[in-house]
Amino acid sequence: MPKGIPNKRYTPELKQRAVEAVVKEGLSYKEAARIYEIDGHSRIQSWERIYLTEGPEGLAVERRGRRSTGRPKKLPEAVEEDLLSEVRRLRAEVDYLKNLQALVLEDERRQHKKRR
């Protein structure tokens, strides 16, 4: 679409009339698009899907743009603090276990050297 031309908006009533012409009167999508001066028959197809699943009220809902991917909601501060303290505790535990493992391995090496 060229710059400066706003997107065309259709009223819910027009959408409903066009869809009902297709569903009840048996018009093709292209015929309904031509009669109701709608750009592209694929719009009527999508309106029909909405109409059949949600009813005529679904055609009144504004559906422009992309859907949100669902930005993660911020956790309550107390929960966030609990999780951070849990992470710190687990990191300390991992460090302790690594040090313990290093000490055990070194002790085994010493025992092995003494046997020779």
Q: Give Dmax (Cα) for the chain.
A: 98
In this prediction, residues 105-116 reach a mean pLDDT of 85
* Alpha-carbon span 57 to 105, nearest angstrom: 71
What is the structure's pLDDT at 6?
64
* Alpha-carbon span 15 to 44, nearest angstrom: 8
Give the residue with greater pLDDT, 20 vs 114: 20
Does residue 5 carry a pLDDT above 60?
no
- Top mean-pLDDT range of 72-76, 77-81, 90-94: 90-94
* Alpha-carbon span 108 to 104, nearest angstrom: 6
Give the residue with greater pLDDT, 88 vs 50: 88
In this prediction, residues 9-22 reach a mean pLDDT of 90
In this prediction, residues 76-94 reach a mean pLDDT of 95
87 neighbors 58 (Cβ within 8 angstroms):
no
pLDDT bracket for residue 1 (50, 70, 90)? very low
73 neighbors 26 (Cβ within 8 angstroms):
no
